[in-house]
Structure 1
Amino acid sequence: MPLSEQEQKLLDEMERSLYHNDADFVSAVGGARGRLNYGSLVLGILLAIVGLGVVIVGVVIHAPVVGILGFAVMFTGVLVALKRSRLSAVRGSGARSSKSGSSRSKAGFMDRLNDRWDNRDEKNE
């Protein structure tokens, strides 16, 4: 049984609202994170490799203190590798917060996709 015109419009409105709310959620959650800092990534990977080597040495010489120290270095390396750049996080959240025409080019992928979805009916008419 087909939907009436009023029901179809209501369904379309609910669908647009759902996509708009999802895009806002994605930009709100994703806006707080910055881009990876590649210098920190390389340093973190090197620290993790050195820490793993120290853990292996600690196991070979049967010294638990050396193994624990190696684990600490390895864990620190992973934390450093996953560190996000604060400068890009501030820039990213600023671009998402304003919806003016000049900052539209700085908007994220989901914002542009949401705008295209909202404007699809206007283009067809």
Structure 2
Amino acid sequence: MPLSEHEQRLLEEMERSLYQNDADFVAKVGGKRARPAYRSIVLGVLIAVVGVAVLVTGVFVQQPIVGILGFVVMFAGVLVAIAPGKRVSLDDATPTSARTAKAARGRQAGFMDRMNDRWDKRQDGEH
């Protein structure tokens, strides 16, 4: 079920607020995204297929060492295929507004800091 226009606007506003107020959190959680390394996937699959062929050959000729070698080659191929891809730098993955907010963080207090200051002033005024 698609979101209504009002819900989409609220979601976009919340996302912008997150990028502006919590740039450090965004950098830690989603700052870097891995791109799939298609070359590694193809190479890993080919190595795994060769490993399976060597494993089957080892079973066929009844040589356990050849079967074990085939299993090791197959396992190495799977590891190559699932290896993480290249990382995208934070500057490429983070929107401009988040970088601007992070740079401005030193110049002005964040929303929560201002709210805490207001709360402290209220508490000091009542006592």
- TM-score calculated relative to the size of structure 2: 0.49
Report the structure number with the largest CA radius of gyration.
2
